[in-house]
Amino acid sequence: MRDALKAACGLWLAFAVAGQAQTAADRPVVVELYTSQGCSSCPPADDLLATLAADPAVIPLALHVDYWDYIGWEDHLAQPGFTARQKAYARAVRSRTIYTPQMIVNGGTRVEGNDPEAVLEAIRSARGAGSPVTLEVQREGGQIRVRAQSAEGPGLPMKIQLVRYRPEETVNIERGENAGRTVTYRNIVTDWQPVAEWPGQPPLDLTLPLAGDEPAVVLIQRAGPAEILAAQRVN
């Protein structure tokens, strides 16, 4: 499974870098993986997320949830807020079910995280879709300046969100469904905060504090939560 996954992703990533490198910086695709150290189906999805981290056109983010902690192994990377975010996505489409591993691509497409073909197809589709919003993010010392413009008139507020993540951590899982496994997790979300709302007009221009060395992402998302209209890494 792992070899097939890497082969499929390798071919796709080669195509992406060769043919779409310029658009990668313009509008990277956000992939949220809802995962858990206690989920036996999750390691292939964790591997897929790690592979996607090599593609500059994708912003892969691992959100560890806490609802598998009861089966013998507590995921120390999990946060209740990430479970709440996944539940909010389910409510937005009137679903009563959440599961791991699940990937949500650009806030709109929901796929099983251990189905690489479905994940890559969702990324291709998201990359081909347009967006009325352009976003520019620039670090200025201990702050970041966020500027955005929308081709649409004023409408329902969009949420400006600041995400912090840890690039990598290796975990030896001692109990539960994955007992005996050693898993290296990538792009582990440590904090996900809404920082402002914006109706689209006038153009957005705000400055946010950014302490510490953890990488960050700024994203603009329709309420729901729904489509992610723009996202940029903080360099």
Tens digit of each residue's pLDDT (9 = 90 or more) over 93-106? 999 999 999 999 99
* pLDDT tens-digit readout, 26-71: 789 999 999 999 999 999 999 999 999 999 999 999 999 999 999 9
pTM for the model stands at 0.90
Q: How far apart are CA 195 and CA 216, in angstroms?
A: 13
Here the tokens at position 40 are 């036996």
